[in-house]
Structure 1
Amino acid sequence: MPTSGKQKRKTLVLTGASRGIGHATVKRFAASGWRVISCSRYPFPEECPWEMGRDDHMQVDLADPADIERAIAELKRRLEPEGSMLHALVNNAGISPKAKGGARLNAIDTDAETWRNVFQVNFFAPIMLARGLFDELERAQGAIVNVTSIAGSRVHPFAGSAYATSKAALTALTREMAADFGPRGIRVNSISPGEIETSILSPGTGKIVDEQIPMHRLGAPDEVARSIYFLCSEQSSYIHGAELQINGGQHV
């Protein structure tokens, strides 16, 4: 989508861009004319169609705090031609490790290193990025969207304890960020997806769909992407500190 000289295109930074919800979100924003800086631990996938995809892709290991700091410095450099403005940060990346055979890791059997890694990626990385890019977000009066999970509010048959508690913590962090970032003009919200048709689904999800979801179907990644786009747009200009449930009624 072309932009005039007076109206610079907006910029999004998104983590976990290589598949599922992140992949769909990148395509949604790119189709609407945004510049998208995608962040993933994987190289840029050549089949992806969005403009400047390779040039605006960054490999970063969110499990490594030092690598996050490196990525923040690189993101600041990349944003300089745009007036050092960032209109949206979407913290989508998350990890959900499993036990042998794909079994759920419970609170008793999850080792300390796994707890640390999960919280580093799912909880600490979002606040590190938000704080590191605070000035750029403030200049643009931008928006932050944290991707939580329905597993953060109830025991889930497949999501492990470390994953679930990290997502619950991210929900609480969204509230705290809304209180602290809001006076500086930065809106902060979260989305809480339920059973979305991505590679993170486990065998047995069909039983949840049949018994717990009133709409009796999985959600599509693009349905989540559209909600993220809404929370980063002017259409949601007075929505702040909210968590949007995207689960076909599973939460009821």
Structure 2
Amino acid sequence: MLLTGASRGIGHATVKRFSAAGWRVITASRHAFPENCPWEMGPEDHLQVDLSSAEDTMRAITDVRSRLELEGAVLHALVNNAGISPKGPGGSRLSALATPFETWAHVFQVNLFATVLLAQGLRAELERARGSIVNVTSIAGANVHPFAGAAYATSKAGLAALTRELASDFGPLGVRVNAISPGEIDTAILSPGTEKIVEQIPMRRLGTPDEVAKAIYFLCTDASSYVNGAELHINGGQHV
């Protein structure tokens, strides 16, 4: 599988979940391979790529295709987990009116347009494997969020729509496309004040990265063989 945004949180948990099940995981992030990496795969299975650059994204796609061709392998899963959510001064939320166009363009390139490029560029490799694509959206894509900015939220809403479009396009090719929509997950990037949101979640707790990773794993295996175009809410009931 190819996983973007593998450097922390949900990405780390997803790598560990799949590798424990015997999958080979090619990780991709804007960071170099860390020396203290928590999984067994080495730097030979890591791609340093800047998804905010269409040119660099296309370079990474060519790299992945070359690796798979050289080894006679196919791509069983593509997980688009990378995402950015810029903040204002002091970590404040960036509203639609306060977000500069350059920031809008940057967020959309990483959170949405890179997903399109990866799906288009790796179509043949996914088709040969009758694989799966999983896009990581967000609860912020459906409601105005107190911390997630307008550009992030709008890009995630777009990613949910793109998931439906790709599910329609890839379905006849034998490739399933779904999304997971996490709520408040206990990672290092939680905003101050999240504890107030937890009081409104029916399960009264944060989710864990592993709980998200388990849902991604489900959507990439035969356990979800007839699930296509879905968006799974992983938020303890927060969306209700």
- Scaled by the length of structure 2, the TM-score of the pair is 0.98
Once the 2 structures are TM-superposed, how far is the Cα of residue 200 of structure 1 from its aligned partner?
2.4
Change (3 A) 1:194 1:96: same
Residue 232 (structure 1) aligns with: 220
The alignment covers a number of residue pairs equal to: 240
1:245 alignment partner, one of 216, 230, 233: 233
Once the 2 structures are TM-superposed, how far is the Cα of residue 84 of structure 1 from its aligned partner?
4.2
CA separation in 1, counterparts of 2:163 and 2:222?
19
Letter in structure 2 aligned against 1:67: D
Residue 210 (structure 2) aligns with: 222
Letter in structure 1 aligned against 2:185: I
Letter in structure 2 aligned against 1:176: E
State the identity as a percent: 71
1:87-102 to structure 2, matched below 5 A, reads 87-102=76-91
Once the 2 structures are TM-superposed, how far is the Cα of residue 86 of structure 1 from its aligned partner?
0.3
Once the 2 structures are TM-superposed, how far is the Cα of residue 69 of structure 1 from its aligned partner?
0.6
Residue 164 (structure 2) aligns with: 175
Segments ≥4 residues shifted beyond 4 Å:
none
CA separation in 2, counterparts of 1:82 and 1:168?
37
1:74-223 to structure 2, matched below 5 A, reads 74-210=63-199, 212-223=200-211
CA separation in 1, counterparts of 2:70 and 2:164?
32
CA separation in 2, counterparts of 1:108 and 1:199?
28
Once the 2 structures are TM-superposed, how far is the Cα of residue 186 of structure 1 from its aligned partner?
0.5
Once the 2 structures are TM-superposed, how far is the Cα of residue 213 of structure 1 from its aligned partner?
0.4
Residue 4 (structure 1) aligns with: none
CA separation in 1, counterparts of 2:188 and 2:121?
30
5+ residue gaps in structure 2?
Answer: none
Residue 36 (structure 2) aligns with: 47
After the TM superposition, which of the residue ranges 108-117 and 75-84 deviates more from structure 2?
75-84
After the TM superposition, which of the residue ranges 12-21 and 74-83 deviates more from structure 2?
74-83
1:19-34 to structure 2, matched below 5 A, reads 19-34=8-23
Residue 57 (structure 1) aligns with: 46
CA separation in 1, counterparts of 2:114 and 2:208?
26
CA separation in 2, counterparts of 1:34 and 1:82?
15
Q: Check the 8 A contact 1:76/1:84 in 2, yes or no.
A: no
Once the 2 structures are TM-superposed, how far is the Cα of residue 115 of structure 1 from its aligned partner?
0.1
3-state SS, counterpart of residue 55 of structure 1: helix
Change (3 A) 1:190 1:37: same
- Scaled by the length of structure 1, the TM-score of the pair is 0.94
Q: Deviations over 1:163-215 (max 9, x none)?
A: 000000000000000001100011000000000011221000000001x2011
Once the 2 structures are TM-superposed, how far is the Cα of residue 50 of structure 1 from its aligned partner?
2.6
CA separation in 2, counterparts of 1:67 and 1:208?
37
Q: Check the 8 A contact 1:87/1:142 in 2, yes or no.
A: yes
Letter in structure 1 aligned against 2:204: H
